């Protein structure tokens, strides 16, 4: 089993623990983006394309989280941005999101759950476009950005 809190940096570890606490609350609402049946067919039945999409999803979520961090917390330090993006885009974070929906058992390795979420995000981006993608990221991740930001401020 991979650790659910994989960060060696104690501050990142604390940020992730607070993020997970936020994800587990009933107030945090999380849904996967809506995809067409054809897209689910590709995700489920085309391993080569799924790997290509995972690569794209990883890049897209990293860039979107970076923009959202800067939008939500425009006066933070580069150190905060780096640590927060690392926590927010970690496979362990994505595994907790997928677990909230019942799609991941936390006793299993986190990488497959992270890869699946990144793949879904890439397909959503291709289907719905950049504006819908950014809106989805904003809706899902703004509360989590606030969670890690509060932890960072409290512990720095």
For the stretch 120-151, pLDDT in tens is 999 999 999 999 999 999 999 999 999 999 99
Residue 5 confidence (pLDDT): 60
Q: Is 62 part of a structural domain of the chain?
A: yes
pLDDT score of 4: 59
The whole-number pLDDT of residue 3 equals: 46
Residue 50 within a domain: no
Phi-psi category of residue 35: left, alpha or beta, with phi > 0 → left and psi -120 to 50 → alpha: beta
- Rounded to whole angstroms, how far apart are CA atoms 16 and 34? 27
**Domain enclosing residue 154, as ranges:** 56-156
Cα atoms in the Cβ-side hemisphere of radius 13 Å centred on 69: 24
Mind listing the pLDDT tens digit for each residue in 102-125?
999 999 999 999 999 999 999 999
Are 83 and 93 spatial neighbours (Cβ–Cβ below 8 Å)?
no
Asked if residue 4 belongs to a domain, the reply is no
CATH of the domain at 110: 1.10.1520.10
44, part of any domain: no
CA angle centred on 57, ends 132 and 60, rounded to 5°? 60
Q: How far apart are CA 111 and CA 129, in angstroms?
A: 26
The pLDDT of residue 2 is above 70: no
Report the number of distinct structural domains present in the chain: 1
């Amino acid at each position: 089993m991979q650790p659910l809190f994989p960060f060696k940096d104690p501050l990142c570890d604390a940020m992730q623990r607070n993020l997970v606490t936020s994800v587990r609350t009933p107030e945090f609402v999380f849904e996967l983006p809506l995809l067409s049946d054809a897209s689910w067919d590709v995700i489920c039945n085309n391993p080569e394309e799924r790997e290509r999409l995972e690569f794209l999803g990883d890049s897209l979520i990293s860039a979107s989280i970076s923009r959202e961090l800067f939008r939500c917390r425009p006066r933070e330090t580069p150190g905060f941005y780096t640590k927060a993006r690392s926590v927010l885009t970690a496979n362990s974070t994505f595994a907790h999101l997928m677990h909230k929906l019942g799609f991941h058992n936390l006793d299993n390795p986190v990488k497959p759950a992270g890869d699946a979420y990144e793949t879904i995000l890439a397909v959503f981006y291709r289907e719905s476009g950049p504006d819908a993608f950014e809106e989805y990221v904003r809706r899902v991740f703004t509360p989590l950005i606030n969670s890690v930001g509060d932890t960072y401020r409290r512990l720095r």
